[in-house]
Structure 1
């Protein structure tokens, strides 16, 4: 099973340079029918997000000036690293706040992980877990717990007292 965010990342995203104009941002969002633009520097490092609602807000409050992208964008987005385990990333989508999160590697934008990707992974992991439970027969003897020296002692006798005075089988 694929366990890291990097194995689920979607690379078909839209990014714009920090020097892009307000008009270029609007055109890119409209043309690509997106909800968020990722703002990157010349080294393709993520510097911010520009959600469509911020562009709408700027258009509604615009007095004829073209606002700078750097003044509109969110500069402290929640970011996932490509190495992040899906079991850590999936709960971030529990709240309706995130539809997609940017994925980076060494600060460079790789793509995004969407809520639908997290749902697919959760369903897949539940199926895999159920299948593994069915495929593995119950052991004839219960698994031994504790340090190795206790395991050896347990093999020699059926009961042994632990340091807490509780019997271990």
Structure 2
């Protein structure tokens, strides 16, 4: 499963030099945890997160403190350039979702910008990945049946059980490999088993898609 198959498009973003007020409003309105910051060519030059905003814009409430609250020494930032993380990590749209999922798990990030030729094309989040993993068996079966029919392979029979896809009716190693690759690319598929018409060519040992 590739990032471009599950990413959110278009990605909300902010131009370099945007005000903090605009950044706060967009974070709240779009219900996202972070926003890429782009230059005029849509190249990602920074990222601003909810945490960045909270660190600099929450004013202590005197009622919650026994001692007087001191005013901050530095003035409040007015543009996101002052608080964003420059040169953030991005992933390509052709990246493996398994690798991106591991990146998000290891770093604790909730999302990461997606680029093509260095330009922002989307954003992929933990929730995007989770939604892909919860694709129903019936949806997977309908999708593959339609894809195979459009390819002129309506004779291939598809069954799906808890994310495991079984494709039967292929002829020869080339068809078996094609069915395996196509099924492995579908969101929510955990394992693929191909059983050709000729038992001698069986690939029934199964294939585990990269995740």
Q: What TM-score do the two structures reach when normalised by structure 1?
A: 0.67
CA distance in 2, matches of 1:55, 1:36: 10
The structure richer in strand per residue is 2
CA distance in 2, matches of 1:141, 1:110: 42
Number of residue-to-residue matches in the alignment: 141
CA distance in 1, matches of 2:95, 2:161: 21
Q: Larger deviation: 36-45 or 25-34?
A: 25-34
Indicate the structure (1 or 2) with the bigger Cα radius of gyration: 1
Evaluate the alpha carbon distance shift between residue 17 and residue 77 of structure 1 in structure 2; reply closer, same or farther with a 3 A threshold: same
Structure 2 gap segments, 5+ residues each = 59-71, 141-159, 167-191, 204-211
Matches of residues 21-100 of structure 1 in structure 2 within 5 Å? Answer: 21-60=19-58, 63-95=74-106, 97-100=108-111
Structure 1 gap segments, 5+ residues each = 144-169
Q: What TM-score do the two structures reach when normalised by structure 2?
A: 0.55
Contact 2:33–2:110 at 8 Å: present in 1 too? no
User: Deviations 1:86-138 (Å, cap 9, x if unpaired)?
Assistant: 23323223347021111111111111111122234445599686223565269
RMSD: 3.1
Contact 1:38–1:50 at 8 Å: present in 2 too? yes
